[in-house]
Structure 1
């Protein structure tokens, strides 16, 4: 997505051959990604692109040829749409290992990328059937993450079982293979990045562990966990230089939907978002928007360095690109993934999505595409994103966000790891209030650089 955006910007600056290559490529790509290729769509396309064929195999061949042409003839695009090289992958792990899981009926493995090596370890106890069974609890009704207070104990018990299973069959073997056997006393925890594929993309890998007590082992004892939707997305996130979230030229935007909470809540949405703004104003400029329209919100996204959304979010399984943040009370206020991805800018650093299901994938057939709201903000250019795997409890979301921003504002912010560390401190303190209630604390996750 970002490579196409860069090609488009180059196309807008240049005429001639590049213009022709861009237009052909865009038309061919749009036809290939359509559910079907309508016959009438061919008439307006150059014969050099489609060759009067609606066959998808031919379209793929034409697309490959156009990509080769762009690599040869467009300055700066020699690696356009090519997979990352071995050296690129190892360079990508210079801040910490990157781990990907592959699960099939034949065997299961973890691919571990470090700055010096790429290795594969077998995971014989990570079985496809067990993964299918556990994934259903997140995909099919009644979902483990939704329900009444009467069912919460049973849902928490089931989630605790899944997190223990993830630890035993996947995460613990990986950490052992990397030599992470114990917490580094007196030192900062190392960072790792998880990238999911298939049904593993649904799993809260960051929260894997035995959470029957605070003393029991879990991922959080050994590493600060982050996610990247894809390896290339992580590379894109690191293309722009990190700029500390400090100073008069740094602008935070705190956006919230109008308050509909009951009168007995501790803080209204408006009060909570102003509370966060007050914390940020210690070191930067901050503004609050309550119930803004979509046009105003998109303009703010293009102008700010960091944004916070305190509103409901919804993952749409039938049309994932229509998953949305609810800015106001009606459907016209729904800010969709498709609309978010239509915006680009270079100032983006941090997006905190204190909304329901912003990192949720509800469409099983799209688990490899990792289409969710948090991912959309990564593609928009935000280097760091905090999102939620499922519905966040209002009081927990408020406590988590306030502690996150308090921690973020400590120090000079020069080290980009301050964002992941602020997330870690906040989620660990929330977890400590009731370690056996992962429905409350395990939903929060960090994405990005």
Structure 2
């Protein structure tokens, strides 16, 4: 009969043998071409290469300390946040998420009240509809106040110290029209510099790109990230380096890529099952079939936009535009995704695929919102598409109004398709300009703040 001591000894021996087998397997993998650094921390030289076109800011918030690690081609600079705590970041993230969730709930209740009134236009259903609309209006006003406070806190505490450390950034120009050529220099200024945010922890859910003061005071014109830099996000520094490497090809390969990049897959759900109608989905489809005319577009709309057909189409599509409802579960972010004709195409399903695309536009609510259960892991539909092959991803942090979504998409594609040629490499500046246009039109914070760009 085996004693407890013998059993413990056997278990220890088995663990040691498995450890040795792991080391042998790891050695064999690292001997393969291109896998020399498999499961090793990336070399600092490789990471600094990701900052070739602008600094990459890795934000850390832990119980020990909070810092910004600013990656430059020459090395890494540390911007310390001696007064910042992980608890303070969590409080701001919770305040922000709770405000968004209250509006989402109020919007759903208003939709239900409208359907009830449409089905039975009685006096009681009319009162219910008015009450739901009033609640939605009040929660939206509360959301605007919360956003204003959070964006100001982000500027004062997180982003302004980073931008101050980058004193050599060019002065921003006056906003140019979306019809200006990509990278154009308006009179009296240089194009805004590029900057990549790589947040960790609870900072992954906060809108760093919109931090600042956005009131009508002329003195506040420079007190925001939007007025200082063109912001992009990256899930990790290595992801940015990898995406940037995929753009570095020989002249012949670049020419082939440019030809392929002129095709667009349009996934459109203007009337999803059990969902509010999306007028912007129709507008987007009309816009894109005009810009990508003839054989340059493929449309999967309504009943044709099934999960299987979309998954198969994504494998070979250089560009994709989703116009549909999205959903996210903050406690299980991989269960979020886009709602198609036969159900949810989840983040987990997207992550299981491999794509060779260039550009993905997610005109779907909450497609760039992560979760709170694993805050160090950027688990979003935008990150999933980026990790699996799409170099540039345009997405939203929360639900957006139909008119704002349509105006934003029209400006982005107007910028990218000037002269009849689609130039996805200018996606970040297109998003930046479209957001400036929405803000200049007097739209509230919640109308223009959600839009983001991920990629090189």
Q: Unaligned regions of 5+ residues in structure 2, if any? A: 1-11, 107-135, 174-187, 249-253
1:192 paired with 2:195, answer: yes
Checking the alignment, whether the CA contact within 8 Å between 2:262 and 2:422 is kept in structure 1 is no
1:206 paired with 2:243, answer: no
Q: How far, CA to CA, are the matches of 2:368 and 2:20 in structure 1?
A: 34
1:322 corresponds in structure 2 to 335
Checking the alignment, whether the CA contact within 8 Å between 2:395 and 2:452 is kept in structure 1 is yes
State the shift of 1:293 in Å. 1.2
Paired positions, count: 388
1:440 corresponds in structure 2 to 447
Checking the alignment, whether the CA contact within 8 Å between 2:63 and 2:85 is kept in structure 1 is yes
Q: How far, CA to CA, are the matches of 1:226 and 1:99 in structure 2?
A: 10
2:406 corresponds in structure 1 to 398
1:385 paired with 2:396, answer: no
Q: How far, CA to CA, are the matches of 1:258 and 1:265 in structure 2?
A: 6
The change in CA–CA distance for 1:109 and 1:366 in structure 2 (over 3 A counts) is: same
The change in CA–CA distance for 1:102 and 1:58 in structure 2 (over 3 A counts) is: farther
1:165 paired with 2:153, answer: yes
Checking the alignment, whether the CA contact within 8 Å between 1:312 and 1:325 is kept in structure 2 is yes
2:60 corresponds to which of 76, 97, 102: 102
Checking the alignment, whether the CA contact within 8 Å between 1:92 and 1:235 is kept in structure 2 is yes
The change in CA–CA distance for 1:144 and 1:166 in structure 2 (over 3 A counts) is: farther
1:222 paired with 2:228, answer: yes
TM-score calculated relative to the size of structure 2 = 0.78
1:306 paired with 2:315, answer: no
Checking the alignment, whether the CA contact within 8 Å between 2:271 and 2:277 is kept in structure 1 is no
Q: Unaligned regions of 5+ residues in structure 1, if any? A: 1-49
The change in CA–CA distance for 1:126 and 1:145 in structure 2 (over 3 A counts) is: farther
Q: Secondary structure at the match of 1:95?
A: coil
Checking the alignment, whether the CA contact within 8 Å between 2:355 and 2:390 is kept in structure 1 is no
Checking the alignment, whether the CA contact within 8 Å between 1:103 and 1:127 is kept in structure 2 is yes
* Higher Cα Rg, which structure: 2
1:82 paired with 2:37, answer: no
Moved more, 381-390 or 120-129: 120-129
Q: What is the CA deviation profile of residues 328-378 of structure 1, one whole-angstrom value per residue up to 9, with x for unaligned ones?
A: 2xxx421111221222233x000000101111113x221111111000101
Q: How far, CA to CA, are the matches of 1:372 and 1:51 in structure 2?
A: 41
Q: How far, CA to CA, are the matches of 1:157 and 1:297 in structure 2?
A: 39
Checking the alignment, whether the CA contact within 8 Å between 1:358 and 1:390 is kept in structure 2 is yes
Q: Which structure shows the bigger proportion of residues in helix conformation?
A: 2
TM-score calculated relative to the size of structure 1 = 0.79
- Counterparts of residues 44-443 of structure 1 (less than 5 Å): 63=22, 66-72=25-31, 74-140=32-98, 143=101, 146=104, 147=106, 148-179=136-167, 180=169, 182-183=171-172, 185-213=188-216, 215=218, 216=220, 217-241=223-247, 247=259, 250-259=262-271, 267=279, 269-281=281-293, 285-291=296-302, 292-328=305-341, 332-346=342-356, 348-362=357-371, 364-410=372-418, 417-434=425-442, 437-443=444-450
The change in CA–CA distance for 1:278 and 1:123 in structure 2 (over 3 A counts) is: same
The change in CA–CA distance for 1:377 and 1:182 in structure 2 (over 3 A counts) is: same
State the shift of 1:58 in Å. 9.0
Q: How far, CA to CA, are the matches of 1:434 and 1:196 in structure 2?
A: 29
Q: Secondary structure at the match of 2:395?
A: strand
Q: How far, CA to CA, are the matches of 2:280 and 2:140 in structure 1?
A: 25
